[in-house]
Amino acid sequence: MDLFEKFYLQKEEPVKSCLLALRDIILKYHNNISETWKYGMPCFCYLEKAFCYLWTDKKTKEPYILIVEGNKIEHPKLIKGDRARMKILPIDPNEDIPLQLIDEIFAEALTYY
């Protein structure tokens, strides 16, 4: 089992399905987005520069998208926490994935590449 399979397939439902759907959404968002493995998590690069990561919250176990250039984006759904550069977009695995919200944030994030 490779790193990606371990990350995605060893999660419990509904988190597993949510992460796999998010992975698909991110990879289909733009032709120049590719997936790699950095810092122990799936990393999605735009033109080989880190764009976003997928991870799960330690306490809630819910997935989130970590936006690399998040500090440049002002959006009420993005959470900075104690991060200097990145912000997270929490995703509720029990709800429909907010495609329009992801599109808005990704569109703005891509302007910084």
Q: Output the domain CATH number for residue 24.
A: 3.90.1150.200
pLDDT of residue 2: 81
Averaged pLDDT score across all residues of the chain: 95
H-assigned helices in 1-113: 3-9, 15-29, 99-110
Quickly count: other Cβ atoms within 10 Å of residue 83's Cβ.
13
Ranges of the chain whose pLDDT falls below 70: 1
Q: Which residues form the domain of 74?
A: 3-110
pLDDT of residue 3: 85
pLDDT of residue 1: 64
Four-CA torsion 43, 31, 46, 111, nearest 10 degrees = -130
pLDDT of residue 4: 83
Could you give the number of structural domains in the chain?
Answer: 1
